[in-house]
């Protein structure tokens, strides 16, 4: 003679999800609503091109090879003898902040902007926003 046991917990557990309908959502309806960003959040890079001297310290210290120096046509700063400014590959960047730490004129910084969506991977190669 075999007895079958009824799994009461298995029957009742799905109905517990009904209670979740009345809870306040933990997400926001982006882009209509946005959350406040922490003051020390590490977002996309900004570069004060009037202070950048093109020394390539940021490129040298980058452990992911996410920074390369690109020659620009127009002169932004008389002290920038190399004529180069950094270009960041955000597909490689880990936002470690080492590039900001070694920047002698403190022209490179991490800003608050953090959202970038693009269909092509080459769209993640761009120059830091001019902070000046």
Q: pLDDT (tens digit, 9 = 90+) per residue, 38-93?
A: 888 888 999 998 899 999 999 999 999 999 999 988 777 888 888 899 999 988 99
Does residue 2 have a pLDDT over 70?
Answer: no
Cβ neighbours around 44 below 10 Å, total: 18
pTM: 0.67
CB-side exposure of 90: number of CA atoms within 13 Å?
A: 19
Q: Which domains does the chain have, with CATH numbers?
A: 45-130 (3.30.70.3270)
> pLDDT tens for residues 5-37?
888 888 888 888 888 888 888 888 877 888 888
Q: How confident is the model at residue 105 (pLDDT cuts 50, 70, 90)?
A: very high
- Rounded CA separation 126/116 (Å): 11
């Amino acid at each position: 003679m075999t007895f079958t046991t009824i799994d009461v917990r298995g029957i009742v557990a799905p109905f517990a999800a009904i209670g979740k309908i009345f809870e306040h959502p933990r997400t926001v309806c982006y882009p209509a609503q946005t959350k406040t960003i922490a003051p020390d959040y590490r977002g996309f890079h900004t570069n004060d091109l009037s202070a950048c001297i093109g020394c390539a310290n940021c490129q040298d210290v980058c452990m992911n090879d996410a920074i390369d120096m690109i020659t620009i046509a127009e002169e932004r700063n008389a002290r920038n003898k190399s004529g180069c400014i950094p270009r960041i590959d955000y597909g490689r960047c880990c936002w470690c902040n080492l590039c900001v730490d070694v920047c002698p004129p403190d022209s490179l910084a991490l800003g608050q902007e953090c959202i970038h969506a693009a269909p092509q991977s080459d769209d993640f190669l761009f120059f830091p926003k001019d902070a000046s």
